[in-house]
């Protein structure tokens, strides 16, 4: 989950605008209850990832979120008492009471799973396209101590991941590899050493002087404007023109032309900033 520098409109936009775009995608997903709209939003996020050159990262996150989505569908079907269309009667479930699996509970679980898939995909997109240095720099102007914590954390995460892999390899080299608990202890002890090293580096680079970084004046680029407009339009469209779909007590909603038009409009708005590729660089 690290920033990937690519030549794309979203990378070219300033970090705050890119973050707003990602937040707008998530907001639009939360405002929508129609499964078609959510599915199209997931595809739009994947499209945005592909347009940014980080498609494989977003696709992997989609793939990884599927088991969790399936778990949500199953758990919701088993624990929800709502819904009138009973598909399976599983009998007495002990402390869970009577277990009836309803069509509505399955459908609602699927909608929640789709929502999760969109959120995870947007998180993957955000981590790959939002420059953490720019975010931390902005944060340093607002809150020095929070920025310090965030700086150490962002630097420590990839370092600790590398260390954990290295220590795991070293333990495999022992004639009798130790248990997982012992390895975890070793990794934790190493993490403390590492955090001290990073903190010492921050000290000698003058971070402790707590001066606010200079304000850099930068005119809004065409990509800033396009991405910001897309973010605003996404939220406005999702809020002002909802595609109605309710799940309980019975499913009420349709996959009619209006729903398709709504989903298509959201996808177009989400992907519109990527049609303009002039003036971008790595």
**Contact positions vs another protein (CB under 8 A):** 2-5, 131-133, 136-137, 140, 151, 154-155, 158-159, 162, 166-167, 169-176, 178, 182-183, 185-186, 189-190, 193-194, 197-217, 282
To another protein, the closest distance from the beta carbon of 224 in angstroms equals: 18
| C-alpha to C-alpha distance for 89 and 226, rounded to whole angstroms | 52
Secondary structure (3-state) at 98 = strand
Sign of CA dihedral 4, 9, 15, 20: negative
**Cα Rg, the chain, nearest whole Å:** 23
What DSSP designation does 13 have?
A: S
Residue 156 beta carbon to another protein: minimum distance, rounded to whole angstroms? 10
Smallest distance from the beta carbon of 170 to another protein, in angstroms? Answer: 4
Euclidean distance between CA atoms 184 and 182, whole angstroms: 5
Comparing CB distances to another protein, the nearer of 191 and 271 is 191
Closer residue to another protein, CB minimum distance, 103 or 156? 156
Least distance (Å) between residue 22 CB and another protein: 17
Closer residue to another protein in complex, CB, 154/250:
154
Please identify, using beta-carbon distances, which residue of 198 and 272 lies nearer to another protein.
198
Least distance in angstroms from the C-beta of 161 to another protein: 11
Strand partners, 245: 253
DSSP 8-state code for residue 182: H
The smaller minimum CB distance to another protein, of residues 136 and 267, is found at 136
Give the integer Cα–Cα distance in Å for 204 and 211. Answer: 14
């Amino acid at each position: 989950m690290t920033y990937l520098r690519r030549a794309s409109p979203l990378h070219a936009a300033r970090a705050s605008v890119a973050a707003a775009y990602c937040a707008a995608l998530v907001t639009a997903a939360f405002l929508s209850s129609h499964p078609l709209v959510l599915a199209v939003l997931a595809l739009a996020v994947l499209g945005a990832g592909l347009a940014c050159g980080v498609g494989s990262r977003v696709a992997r996150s989609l793939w990884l979120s599927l088991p969790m989505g399936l778990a949500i569908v199953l758990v919701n079907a088993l624990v929800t008492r709502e819904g009138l269309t009973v598909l399976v009667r599983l009998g007495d479930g002990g402390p869970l009471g009577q277990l009836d699996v309803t069509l509505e509970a399955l459908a609602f679980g699927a909608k929640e799973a789709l929502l999760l898939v969109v959120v995870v995909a947007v998180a993957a997109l955000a981590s790959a396209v939002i420059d953490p240095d720019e975010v931390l720099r902005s944060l340093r102007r607002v809150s020095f101590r929070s920025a310090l914590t965030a700086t150490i954390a962002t630097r420590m995460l990839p370092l600790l991941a590398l260390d954990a892999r290295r220590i795991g390899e070293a333990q495999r080299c022992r004639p009798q590899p130790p248990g997982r608990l012992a390895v975890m202890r070793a990794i934790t002890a190493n993490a403390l050493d590492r955090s001290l090293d990073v903190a010492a580096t921050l000290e000698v680079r003058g971070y402790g002087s707590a001066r606010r970084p200079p304000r850099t004046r930068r005119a809004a680029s065409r990509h800033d404007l396009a991405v910001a407009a897309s973010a605003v339009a996404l939220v406005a469209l999702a809020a002002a023109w909802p595609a109605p779909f309710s799940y309980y007590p019975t499913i009420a909603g349709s996959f009619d032309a209006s729903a398709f038009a709504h989903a298509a409009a959201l996808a177009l708005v989400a992907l519109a900033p990527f049609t303009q590729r002039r003036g971008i660089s790595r």
